[in-house]
Structure 1
Amino acid sequence: MTLTTHVPVNPADHRDLRVLGTPSEALGDQVMSCFTVPLEFRRVQNEFPILFQRDPESGRFHALVLMGFEQGDNLYFEEGRWTARYRPMALAIQPFLIGRAADPDAPAQIHIDLDHPRVGDPEGMRVFEDDGKPTRYLEKVSDMLDQLNVGVRASRGFFDALERHQLLEPFALDITLDDGTENRLVGYHLINEDRLQELEDGAVAELHREGHLMPMFMALASLANMPSLVDRRNRR
């Protein structure tokens, strides 16, 4: 097991700390999928397919941005260059994460994984200014962490609504590439569009009132990116 060192970020200990925040295959972005929340769906749907997966331990669903068809293969890198117009927050915040203080009523803290390969490179961006104030980079990371934190809390109602109306269905995709090789994508769910259209007016109004209808449409619209993802794999 790999142990990591997560510590609260503070100017006393990390004033001179630098972090490489740009997209990099070698520094943690080479993944086939990453976590997302409904709050982010509008931003990711124009670039990536959004799928859903059930956690085998908790039994709860979460959303994923699909970026490849094999573990460790992110097709949005071409010749080492990030080619999407948007980078999901779950990637962009690395190596930072939300930490909790010992007091459960205390506000969330910004923690950093000091063992992450992005940490300590002299070419990286500073986390604090000379006077100890957060840099614009850290402020941007803090904002994304806050959005993810809020998004996780809000997503509970979203997934409860999907299950209550039985709107999630298992999804499998068989892909035959131009070179004849086959890939099979399994273990995911997507929104059943037909069932969504068949909902009674009262149920649709309820979903709209609770703010769940728009992210559902965003997730459905994102599936239009699946053919272009296959094209990326064929070019690879």
Structure 2
Amino acid sequence: MTTLVIGANGQIGRQFCELAETAALPIRAMIRDAGQRAWFDERGIDTVVADLEGELRHAFDGCDQVIFTAGSGPHTGPDKTLMIDLFGAIRAIDLACERGLSRFLMVSAMRAEDPLEAPEKLRPYMAAKYAADAHLRASAVPHVILKPGRLIDQPASQRVATSLTETGGENSVSRANVAYALRHLVQSRDLIGREYVLLDGERPIAEALC
């Protein structure tokens, strides 16, 4: 019942891994190189070295579900956006299907629903997310798609909203709340075929994501 965390060394990924370790949830953190291992070793978190742009198949061994929270980052060009956020995601989805995994939990983005509505510099990233989400929906693997709004660095409130109507148009969510939402989804294995916008709000996570 191990969850593979793709993008474990990212800002959301690390926070989720800490929450999962505290809750004794079996996870495997996928990291790009061995130099990233020390942070996870200090916390007793299992790691596997694999690369969305290279060898990946072995990372899935012994895992029954996947979280995809990888991202090319704000300082890379369209080439990395294509290779990581689109092609890397598609490769991971196809491997999850091939291995018959129970679920694929995709961290997407609210603006991926209409990339042309995103700021111009974010449109390639949102288009990649849009296409990866479409590939996941069309695949045979059971899935959940989480669509955070504008990511901010604030402490977790563990209270969220799932629409702009609830927030009066405020479109932000803390990375910490995204990590808590992922912990809830990992534990809620009956949730399949769901898509959730995620914003900071007033509802407890378990109430909002059900």
TM class by shorter chain equals: under 0.3
Structure 2 length-normalised TM: 0.23
Which of the pair is proportionally richer in helix?
2
Point out which structure has higher relative CO (alpha carbons under 8 A, 6+ apart): 1
Q: TM-score, normalised by structure 1?
A: 0.22
Bigger radius of gyration, 1 or 2?
A: 1
